[in-house]
Amino acid sequence: MVRILILIFTLTLPILSAAQQAPAGEEAFGTRSYDDYERPEACQSCHVDIYQQWTQAMMSQAYTHHWDEIEYFDLAVRHAEKVPELKGAVDGCNGCHAPLAYLAGDVPPPRPAENSRANESVSCDLCHTITHFKGDVPFNFSYASKPGRLKYGAKEGMKSPHHDTQYLEVYTQAEFCGNCHNEKNPYGIWVKSTQLEWKEGPYGQEGVPCHRCHMPKALGRNAKMAQEDMVAQHLFNGAHDPGKIAGAIELRMHPLEREVPLDEVVVLKVQLFNGKAGHKVPTGSVEDRIMWLHVTAEDSEGNTFHLPVDPKGFEGEQYTIASDELAYSDMAVPLNDPAFKGVARDGVPVGDRIFRMPYFDPDGVMTIMQWNTESLGVDYRIGPRETKIETFTWPLPDDIALGKVVFTARLNYKKLVKPVADFLGVPEDESETVPVNYATTWVEIYD
């Protein structure tokens, strides 16, 4: 009898502990209240540096940032009003951008100007109450959060007067970040796959997690009463930090011949090496970002010329060479303007090479509305430690001066394609040109 009872007990134990696990992903919607979570200011009193770092990171602005507010309220929410099947996905924006609001079932959350707790965005207490993620591959806010006195982290045996602590391995792993940095949309398309790109690349293979580059460790105190130790800096610098973008890709350029007769062609090769990022560049919000290579020549009299890239002939290449055609016409639906024909696709000099992966709406037109993406085009981004080579074949123009011609290649980046930013009234900083790198070389022209 006792044996049977023990057997029943041991059999039900795992079931009981599974039932105690916090809900994850969509199942967690509306299962908590804002009051279950402590405010970041409660952590600030002891975790002084970490708090200040977090306030400067996009993590603390994921809900309030201007472009997020515009895209969520003016495009996504309005689109779901017209197409009710989208409601689940649009509510889901908050699972990553305003997690406390999502968990409290408060969607759409109050506008940022109303100063609700949705504004805390990805907060200290949200991250540090995550216990695990659901499934084999983390994506679509698959984290489970169990708020309370116990805070989880990557260090063993920490003692705090304010809370209990516990080490969990997941805090050391890229999968932790993948909860929000991988996203599958209603069409089953991976519209964000930073952790997946990382995993199949060299850094994933070598076990160098996101933390090493985005939360680097430095000697300091993680709380004002703590001992000095190597502390994970909560920087999370990415596309919004020009210094993080700078040098992410290295450039070199050479001509095939140094001395070129007047009636000949110049052939240039440009090498682009991703030596700094642990994933493809660009990654994340790939539908918004644009990175392009612009090559110019200046002759001995100061005349300047623009060199278009040589096409390579792969399928879908037209989306990787700048043109002045229109795109983004699917915004007509949320904007309630059937006459809207779209805006310029690229907004960068025609003929320049673009490193991107286009997102297509159900009509096969390029879109920045990731939730409305039915297919992806050619992936012409630069992978981690990958080198791409671009060729520029340039028949010398008749009016070129003899002597030295200097070539400059500039690789530039914008967080949001400019024609879209201008059309939607997104503040300038989101579409400003951020230099990634440049290279120069020269040839001598003779008669």
Q: CB 348 → ligand HEC: shortest distance, Å?
A: 16
Q: Does 165 bind ligand HEC (CB under 6 A)?
A: yes
Span 230-269, contacts to ligand HEC by CB under 6 A: 231-232, 234, 236, 238-240, 244-245, 248
Is 97 among the residues that bind ligand HEC (CB under 6 A)? yes
Does 122 contact ligand HEC by CB under 6 A? Answer: yes
> Which residue's beta carbon is nearest to the bound ligand HEC?
284
Tokens of 74: 């003016």
Quickly tell me which residue has 């924006």 as its tokens. 93
Of 286, 283, 275, 270, the residue nearest 319 (C-alpha): 286
Under rule CB under 6 A, residue 226 binds ligand HEC:
yes
- CB of 68 or CB of 106, closer to ligand HEC: 68
Closest distance between ligand HEC and the C-beta of residue 3, in Å?
40
List 104, 177, 354, 400, residue binding ligand HEC (CB under 6 A): 177
Is residue 108 within 8 A of residue 152, CB to CB? The reply is: no
Q: Which of 87, 163, 254, 312 binds ligand HEC (CB under 6 A)?
A: 163
- Dihedral sign, Cα of residue 356, residue 282, residue 74, residue 431: negative
Place of tokens 């969509």: 26
Contacts of 318 (CB under 8 A, 6+ apart): none
As given in the structure block, the two tokens for residue 262 are 């007047």
127 binds ligand HEC (CB under 6 A): yes
- Up-side HSE of residue 247: CA atoms within 13 Å toward CB? 3
With contacts defined by CB under 6 A, name the span among 15-23, 25-33, 151-159, 349-357 that binds ligand HEC.
151-159
Task: Find the binding residues for ligand HEC in span 401-420 (CB under 6 A).
Answer: 415
Smallest distance, ligand HEC to C-beta of residue 441, A: 25
174 scored as a contact of ligand HEC (CB under 6 A): yes
Distance, CA of 159 to chain centre: 35
Considering the rule CB under 6 A, would residue 212 count as an interface residue with ligand HEC? yes
Identity of the residue, 181 or 418, whose beta carbon is nearer to ligand HEC in the bound complex: 181
Question: Of 232 and 417, which has the nearer Cβ to ligand HEC?
Answer: 232
- Which stretch in 23-31, 34-42, 326-334, 342-350 sits in contact with ligand HEC by CB under 6 A? 34-42
Closest CA to 252 of 370, 387, 351, 119: 387
Those residues whose C-beta lies under 8 Å from the C-beta of residue 362, and which sit 6 or more positions away, are 372, 374
Smallest distance from the beta carbon of 217 to ligand HEC, in angstroms?
A: 6
What's the rounded Cα separation, in Å, for the pair 253 and 269?
6
Minimum Å distance from CB 196 to ligand HEC? 8
Using left for φ > 0, alpha for ψ between -120 and 50, and beta otherwise, residue 165 falls in: beta
- Judged by CB under 6 A, the number of residues near ligand HEC is 93
Give least dist CB 311 to ligand HEC, A: 25
One character per residue 275-294, x = contact with ligand HEC (rule: CB under 6 A): -xxxx-xxxxx--xx-----
Residues 6 or more apart from 134 whose CB is under 8 A from it? 24, 25, 142, 144
Q: Give the pairing type, strands 434-446 and 403-414.
A: antiparallel
- The DSSP 8-state label assigned to residue 24 in this structure reads B
CA distance 318 to 299: 30
- Span from 102-110, 213-221, 263-271, 344-352 in contact with ligand HEC (CB under 6 A): 213-221
d(C-alpha 44, C-alpha 28), whole Å: 27
Binding mask 345-374 for ligand HEC (x = CB under 6 A): --------------------------x---
SS3 of residue 443 by DSSP: strand
Q: How far apart are CA 345 and CA 318, in angstroms?
A: 12
Return the residues of window 43-72 that contact ligand HEC according to CB under 6 A.
43, 45-47, 50-51, 54, 58-59, 62, 65, 67-68, 71-72
Residue with tokens 């001509």: 255
The verdict on 96 binding ligand HEC (CB under 6 A) reads: yes
